[in-house]
Structure 1
Amino acid sequence: MNISEIFISIGGNRNPAAADWDTKGLQLLAFGADNSIALWNPLDHGLRGVRSLLNGHNKAVNAVKFFPTEISSKSILLSGSADHTLRIWRCHGYPEIIYEAVKTITEHQSPIIRIATLPASDIFATGASDGTVKIWRLLHDADFSNINAELLQTIILSPKFFPLNIALEFLDDSSLILAVAGTRSTIQIFLSRDTHFDLVATLSGHEGWIRALEFTRERKGNRESDLLLASASQDKYIRLWRVHTGEELPAVSSALNDPALGILGKSLSNKAHRIESKDARYSITFEALLLGHEDWIYTASWRHREGKLQLLSTSEDNSLAIWESDPNSGVWVCVTRLGEISAQKGSTTATGSAGGFWIGLWSPDANTIVSLGRTGSWRKWTYSSSEHVWVQQVAITGHIREVKGLCWSKDGSYLLSTSSDQTTRLFTEWKRENRSSWHELSRPQIHGYDLNCIDSVTDTQFISGADEKLLRVFDEPKGVADILNKLCHIQTTSKGFIDAANIPVLGLSNKAIQAVEDYEPASVTDEDEREAVDPASFIRKSTLDFDHPPFEDHLARHLLWPETEKLYGHGYEISAVATSNDGTLVATACRASAIDHAVVRIYDTKEWLEVKPPLKAHSLTVTALQFSHDDQYLLSVGRDRQWAVWKRGTNSTYSLALSNPKGHTRMILDTSWAPIEHTFLTAGRDKSVKIWQFSGSEAQLKTTISATSAVTAVACIQHVIQDQFVFAYGTDGGEISICSGLPTALEQVQVSKVDTKLNPARSINRIAWRPNMENEKQQLGVASDDNSVRVFEVSLVHMIRA
């Protein structure tokens, strides 16, 4: 069997230290994504997205940093996690980029929250919420084939605070300078003497926790020039500090007299802090105050660009700013501001606010900027030298909580996923002249409750169930249909489209809105009432006109699907939903601890009315439902270890045909019909997949397939391929297996395990085969608790021949 990962979607962790761009080595960007580390090349012209995920940590990854190897084909990555461990990863770049964990260090007693490295040095530092900073030396040979880490010093921060950030730099040939700040308003400066760091100064001035620190040389590559330290805080200000050589103080910065500072200027202290190394004496003075952000600032990073020193900052106010010093006055000014306009500040995610930018990174050539927002999605801007502007480009998106539900559209043209992050997302291929790549093309649902399950009703309609006890039905709007047609060549047959949808403030239901031409007036007044039309009730057609996959700004605001129905009846959180193959019926279930709630309810999709009576057989939560190919049978399984087969009668009613109260020895978590008459599979917490076949009122267990951990998902391809039936199952440990067998010999099933490097890091919740694929080339969608949605391409030719 040949299996390859063709698409991974996963959101980034909201931690300012959880991403780094390798400027020296392979030029990949690594970011923490739940317990994993995602690798992405933002400069890839093919827009392939996340290349791979590194699994190993068992809690969220808080800090990621590339160690500067100065060798283009070698890459060393350091990662720190809430599991208290520091991991060292190594990659030999060619021909394949595969990182392997070579060392796990468990010196810290609390979550690691920051890592700092230093180019042209083997020294690095880690900070943790145990209130310590540890100084390390990376021990390695010339080609990094042997790697170890030696602990040189533990600095106990006194009085105790959490080091939210650390900055390391060469002061001179004999000393390193270390700046540490965090959950206090002061910055502590340490100097090294023979690799032992001592506290030499405390810089005060900020009025909130300090979120960012970074050193740079004032003149690029000139070790004789002054050091500048940028510090950014929750007090909304960035402060610059100058480390100057010699007894004489530097000239007082004229920036301090900037009239724009107003009364602030009078309170700015220019106290000189004197420090000395073995070789020389230095002073640290306050240099400038950068005003402009309106909320907490999370990152500040330096870059020498086009002969100028520039500083990139990201803030909770939904903006990125690029600052540089005015050559005439010396005043630091914001020369570029990117992100969202202030009109949307304070709005909730439901109305499309980004919720702040947590990470901002320069590309190796400094002509591209990427930023991570609250929704887990990356944004990317590239500098256009011809137009002298930063142009937004396609980046990557993903869920930031467990992905609970997954389904393909009926015709297989796109994939829908739904998650505990309260969003539903649509993924499919963007097809260009000679290549294609997978992207999120629409975000149909942004909700106020965790979403648990989803299924397609037709090619342009789906139903989802959430923790709110009801189910909602959504129809594809014309704006999204046009985008899918234009970018993905997906033709839709549905008529009478609604143009677009939005969410009213304080609302949960997506309301239909109208698309109008750009030249139509923004508000129409009624002559009698003289009231303006609500600007949220329409959208400009140009807003929905794309020649590329939509950016996060559009996904979060303009590409919702209108809600057309709500289904009531259940008393608790919805646990399962399934639609019939002809799209006329929907079966649903909810969480339950008694027989009265553990019922399966069936609704017809024409009038959206319940087909009564509800189906009673289970005594605990029904975990999965599926209709047979001809819709004559409905299969249900539950936490009560029972499976039940319901037979269709007149008027779309179903009655119990047969059941097995002890189908598994522990709860049954998923089920699937096989493409063989009266044959189905069940998957259970008892680490097994069972194949059953029934005739009349008798069911026979044909075979049991044992797994290494609880089997949480199972799915069968709905047609026989070269005389064999094929199914896949996923486990609580993240393992995926592909199985095949002859319909005439169900006792003999061949099992192939997917390579562990391709497995998700946590429990698999749902797997789904893509409909209407070529026989031997199949695609498998996988949704997991590790926040990822993956699409695998499975070539069955070798497996079936074997």
Structure 2
Amino acid sequence: MKEDVFEVKGKKYAVSLETVLAGHENWVYGIHWQPSFMDGKCITGGTVEQPLSLLSASMDKTMILWGPEEESGVWVEQVRVGEVGGNTLGFFGCQMSPDGSKILAHAFHGALHLWQKDPGQQIKWSPAVVVSAHFNSVQDLSWDPEGEFLLSVGSDQTTRVFAPWRRKDCSQVTWHEISRPQIHGYDMQCLAMVGRFQFVSGADEKVLRVFKAPRNFVENLANIVGTSMEKLLASHDVVGLPEGASTPALGLSNKAVFQGDLTIKSTQEEGQDINRVSDQYKESYFHPLSLTEPPPEDHLLQNTLWPEVQKLYGHGFETFCLASDAAQTVVASACKASKAEHAAILLWSTSTWKQLQALPCHSLTVTQMAFSPDSRLLLAVSRDRTWSLWRCEDAGPKASEPRFSLYTHTSKDSAVHTRIIWSCDWSPDNKYFVTASRDKKVIMWGHRGSDEPVGMNNSAVTPCSSVLDVGDSATAVAICPSLLSDQSYLVAVGLEGGQLLLYKWRPADDLTSGSDWSRCAESDVSQSHTLVVKRLRWRPRVCQQEETEGWNHQSTSVQLASAGADHTVKIFNINTLAL
């Protein structure tokens, strides 16, 4: 090859081709030289030695570590790592640690992939724990009723489970994704937990899907979180449960994989005769895992799915919001609607998964719903700027399912909000509920002048607070499940601009002065989301194992999770003594 000679600022340079590295089967999007080292320290001046190796990342789902042979000096492929299968594309970029023991890639779908060299072995590399998260807007989230883990859904078409990882070698606790129960073909919009290990999800399709945790998830959750299997199994019957789940090619439903299926598959892999075509092309790609640390990306894509146990049909348009009651008996769902006939709320039985009722009231999309803590009332807020309140009638000994009827609602004439009501929530004592709207207003509602829960007397449900102007469109609101020391309510508000605000509210006779509200904290630029806050959820309780030095979670703090359109889920520790 011809040597090119050129001059820059009086210095001559000669460039010639040394070698061609051929091995990738698709576009190469990233390369990275390993930093030069001498006696374990990076060279900052003088003559720089030839780099030890070169890392390349490609859209063929592989990364290759290239280096010269010691004897010949010819550059060859030393290590190749990557993904096999899955529904992702390849890698966009790569980085190598200074000592050459770790290599990192970022994939087309936003995930990070980390491999590290096994000690004492030059060619054996293993996947390592790395941060993972949504790569599009996070639309909804929900805590496990015991507060041990968190579920979220997003426009990246995934449902993800996050939990605290308690390392055995140190006291540090960090949050990681431990399961990806659903990888879908539609953008996810909403979810609702039904008990500890079952949830319902809705996407940009007309179908609701119900998922139940497999045995393998429960076992791994106990190992990663650091709790006992007996404690988890007390609330989850694993007898007869599948080991895991897999998704068929071009399918949307996660099919259960049982222990027998795994036995058949392993027997076939031992070389026994395969007589049927269906045996040769099994749909199951699931392999049970025994985890003591969060799984890497390739396992999350393939081996942490939850089986789908039911599909719920009934909506005419894309599902938009979901809610479940504390008694775990009813799930409420709503879809996008531009007419009253499509804006009806559908109620589903969690025992039979049959539709119980349709609740018509609103004329446009119901944006959010919330059951009262005692499961007596269902609150719904809508794009039509009104809210409705539905009361569970006494089912009686002969009735097998609860029935709801319209208790009260606001109309265009009586509505206080003048724009879309985005969010709502209940106080822990059932006495009040809160609404938050695009008109920048946050309002507490209840029986004014009464100390009884909502719906327990015949007086009207009216504003019990002054109108709180938060300065920006209020897109999410949540009331802390425990009262503060001064018996006030702690209310979190999420704004369209990404900021989170904390307010204390106490009932007052005089609602004209606005003294019933007091702002006690707000997120700064580093803590706020960079886009819309989509959902706020207070953690039901905090595990004692998470107590860290100088911070007693049990007595002085609460935790708040927020979902944002900026692809992030944030969990905040809030010291209640400082409010």
Write the deviation string for residues 279-302 of structure 1: whole angstroms up to 9, x where unpaired.
Answer: 343333333211100111011111
Paired amino acid for 2:145: K
Aligned to 2:527: 758
Q: Which of 504, 507, 510 is the equivalent residue of 2:248?
A: 504
Q: Which of 433, 452, 455 is the equivalent residue of 1:680?
A: 433
- Secondary structure of 2:219 counterpart: helix
Aligned to 2:284: 537
Q: Distance in 2 between matches of 1:407 and 1:717?
A: 14
Q: Distance in 1 between matches of 2:510 and 2:430?
A: 12
Asked if the contact 1:525/1:533 (under 8 Å) is kept, the reply is: no
Q: Distance in 2 between matches of 1:451 and 1:669?
A: 18
Aligned to 1:425: 160
Structure with bigger strand share is 1
Q: Distance in 2 between matches of 1:746 and 1:712?
A: 27
Q: Which of 402, 405, 429 is the equivalent residue of 2:140?
A: 405
**Residues 1:549 and 2:302 aligned together:** no
Asked if the contact 1:589/1:622 (under 8 Å) is kept, the reply is: yes
Aligned to 2:517: 749
**Residues 1:732 and 2:496 aligned together:** yes
Q: Distance in 2 between matches of 1:677 and 1:724?
A: 14
Aligned to 1:786: 566
Asked if the contact 1:780/1:794 (under 8 Å) is kept, the reply is: yes
Give the 5 Å matches for 1:188-337: 270-304=1-35, 309-337=52-80
Which sections of structure 1, spanning at least 5 residues, go unmatched?
A: 1-269, 345-351
Q: Distance in 2 between matches of 1:381 and 1:456?
A: 34
Asked if the contact 1:522/1:535 (under 8 Å) is kept, the reply is: no
- Secondary structure of 1:567 counterpart: strand
**Residues 1:370 and 2:138 aligned together:** no
Asked if the contact 2:34/2:98 (under 8 Å) is kept, the reply is: no
TM-score, length of structure 1 as denominator length:
0.62
Q: Distance in 1 between matches of 2:469 and 2:368?
A: 20
Asked if the contact 1:641/1:664 (under 8 Å) is kept, the reply is: yes
Aligned to 1:696: 458
Write the deviation string for residues 480-538 of structure 1: whole angstroms up to 9, x where unpaired.
Answer: 11100111135242113211001100100010013436964437978875763544436
Aligned to 1:797: 577
TM-score, length of structure 2 as denominator length:
0.85
Asked if the contact 2:192/2:323 (under 8 Å) is kept, the reply is: yes
**Residues 1:414 and 2:149 aligned together:** yes
Q: Distance in 1 between matches of 2:274 and 2:495?
A: 64
Which sections of structure 2, spanning at least 5 residues, go unmatched?
A: 38-49, 396-400, 448-456, 543-553
Aligned to 2:339: 594
For the pair shown, the structure with the greater C-alpha radius of gyration is 1
Write the deviation string for residues 571-626 of structure 1: whole angstroms up to 9, x where unpaired.
Answer: 111111000111100000000000000110101111001112x1111000000001
Q: 1:602 to 1:431 in 2, by over 3 A?
A: same
Q: Distance in 1 between matches of 2:13 and 2:523?
A: 59
1:309 deviates by 2.9
Give the 5 Å matches for 1:30-45: none
Q: 1:353 to 1:303 in 2, by over 3 A?
A: same
**Residues 1:629 and 2:363 aligned together:** no
1:673 deviates by 0.9
1:775 deviates by 5.1
Q: Distance in 2 between matches of 1:770 and 1:608?
A: 27
Q: 1:568 to 1:353 in 2, by over 3 A?
A: closer
- Secondary structure of 1:453 counterpart: strand
1:674 deviates by 1.3
Q: Distance in 1 between matches of 2:10 and 2:346?
A: 80
**RMSD across aligned positions (CA):** 2.2
Paired amino acid for 1:392: P
Q: Distance in 2 between matches of 1:745 and 1:297?
A: 69
- Secondary structure of 1:692 counterpart: strand
Asked if the contact 2:446/2:464 (under 8 Å) is kept, the reply is: yes
1:743 deviates by 4.9
Write the deviation string for residues 178-232 of structure 1: whole angstroms up to 9, x where unpaired.
Answer: xxxxxxxxxxxxxxxxxxxxxxxxxxxxxxxxxxxxxxxxxxxxxxxxxxxxxxx
Asked if the contact 1:675/1:725 (under 8 Å) is kept, the reply is: no
Asked if the contact 2:129/2:295 (under 8 Å) is kept, the reply is: yes
Write the deviation string for residues 739-772 of structure 1: whole angstroms up to 9, x where unpaired.
Answer: 2233567951221222332111111000000002
Q: 1:527 to 1:387 in 2, by over 3 A?
A: closer
1:326 deviates by 2.8
Aligned to 2:205: 468
Asked if the contact 1:721/1:776 (under 8 Å) is kept, the reply is: no
